[in-house]
Amino acid sequence: MWGSNEAGITGPTAAALWRADTAPAPLADTQAWRQFVVSAQHADLTASTLRIVQAPHVAVDLSAQAQSPALMAAGEALLAERGFDAARACLLEGGMANCTEARPAWHTALRSPDASLRVAGQVATERERVRSFVRRADAEGRYRHVVNIGIGGSDWGPRLVVSALGNAGTRRDMRFVSNIDGHAIEAGLLGLDPLHTLFIVSSKSFNTIETLRNAERAVEWLRAAGVQDVNAHMVAVTSNVAGAARLGISDEHVFKLWDWAGGRYSVWSSIGLPIALALGVETLDGLLEGAAEMDAHFASAPISENAPVQLALTALVNRNVFGYPSLNIAAYDARLTNLAPYLQQLDMESLGKSVDVYGRPVSVPTGSLVWGVSGTDAQHTFFQWLHQGTDPTPVDFVVCREADHTFADHHRLLLANCLAQREALLRGKSFDTLLPEVSKTESDPDRAAWLARHKVHPGGRPSTLLVLPRLTAQSLGALLALYEHKVFVQGIVWGINPFDQWGVEYGKVLATGIAEELNGGAPRPHDVSTAHWVDAWK
């Protein structure tokens, strides 16, 4: 699967991908996979052995996941067979990692301190342009309000970082508008002073309909308020300079993106401009620094101590051996309320694939359903289902060892709840243990047995505990990069491309046609239900 491309950098070769006679055996038919599955089935899931992998800014406790020396060895053999070393080099060196779109997936270059990279000059130039813009705005006291208009990767990254690190306040009033629903842009504009507002329009293609329509509404709002120089209140982050110009945004107000940085991996680029405006240039720099440290760890740590790799192998066991279809993200930090949807896009858009890189149906289930709410709110919504439901679900618990507030008793209770929920999921509570307890207050033996059965916790439900020393720009950057690399490793083993998203595009095409119909255009062929509602809503 992995060879040399035209640039001489390791990557999937065209012949290997397009010719069926060069394709290797499907994953499920390989000896390495079968051995991995058998080893996982016989592994220990009792947390009898402490297993913590230390990475930059985060400790990954895998003690409550399946583990054994045999499983560790089988995981390493599986990675070797799937060409992991070559695939990792391809990613980190700017090879053609995104094979279906014939381009790199070089988001690591956006945060790399290595000046020798062939794109280092471009990246450094845009970094400095962002910093200069923010410093000038700070020095001149411009923009009390900032509205970021983008969707998907142009929204979730900045939204997450600003909410996580701006809990104590931001330098500017920050708004995020993503949805095409008019209520979103209406709420985003409510109460703002047009003369002191900046709009950041973020879209790599500058063709995203939600972003363009909301940006056009922002221009109308500025002009209706009598703003003469709209360009002074708008900047764009895009690879389509001409598209930004059509909206009235001058070249000097356009910050560049590149096609080798995917949207869900783009918070490290000029997409991070809202972060710098809200929290300062140094916060954006810290975010990049933490991610770069995780990149270095991923590139050099031995497999057994490589946090993203071990997190990925654990995910493969849970998804493919135990058959768990989803992953819950339980961040025990109220500032990380946007972590679950951020990771939801990263994981599900990357791994929600049913065809391998050779164009064949995949031979094992791929991406998981990723979902979650921050703890302890989660305990009062869906933890009942996690503990006693019929579908066991792995949980990633994320917590900060130190808080940034002065209420020590609150933080102790938060930590206690995190550890307790994790322990309860793993240990469970049996009928034999419960029956004597219930019998102390229930004298009727039959009723006691009946009630005890309702209280049984099955246990044996795996989880990972990710511990940050405290929530800083560096630790958040490292955490996000950790998950990026975890997703990449899963994609390599499954033989899928985690950097395209063709499934997203089809619905966009259909929506464009339906919108034209709703505006009086010619009818198009539809199923009976869609045709009914198009006709009803014209």
Do residues 203 and 150 lie in contact, with contact meaning Cβ atoms separated by under 8 Å? yes
Catalytically annotated residue among 349, 387, 486, 517: 349
Dihedral sign computed on CA atoms, order 348, 256, 118, 109 = negative
Q: By 3-state DSSP, what share of the chain in percent is helix, strand and coil, each rounded to 5?
A: 55, 15, 35
- DSSP class per residue in 292-328: HHHHHHHHHS-GGG-HHHHHHHHHHIIIIIS---EEE
Q: If DSSP states are collapsed to H, E and C, what string results for 122-151?
A: HHHHHHHHHHHHHHHHHHHCCCCEEEEECC
Which residues on neighbouring strands pair with residue 331, listed in sequence order? 398
> In the annotation, is 402 catalytic?
no
Which residues on neighbouring strands pair with residue 397, listed in sequence order? 330, 465
**Beta carbons within 8 Å of 433's beta carbon, 6+ residues apart:** none
The span from the CA of 465 to the CA of 471, in Å, is 15
The span from the CA of 313 to the CA of 317, in Å, is 6
The span from the CA of 65 to the CA of 317, in Å, is 9
In order of 429, 431, 441, 465, the CA distances from 454 in angstroms are: 11, 9, 15, 28
Do residues 234 and 201 lie in contact, with contact meaning Cβ atoms separated by under 8 Å? yes
Return the structure tokens found at 123.
């990246």
Q: If DSSP states are collapsed to H, E and C, what string results for 353-409?
A: CCECCCCCECCCCCCCEEECCCCCHHHHCCHHHHHHCCCCCCEEEEEECCCCCCCHH
> In the annotation, is 380 catalytic?
yes
Residue 65 three-state SS: coil
Catalytically annotated residue among 380, 410, 532, 538: 380
To the nearest 10 degrees (0 to 180), the angle between helices 69-81 and 473-494 is 70
Do residues 478 and 58 lie in contact, with contact meaning Cβ atoms separated by under 8 Å? yes
Return the structure tokens found at 275.
């972060």
User: What's phi and psi for 179, nearest 5 deg?
Assistant: -75, 145
Catalytically annotated residue among 42, 410, 508, 538: 508
The span from the CA of 295 to the CA of 483, in Å, is 11
Where in the sequence numbering do the catalytic residues fall? 349, 380, 508
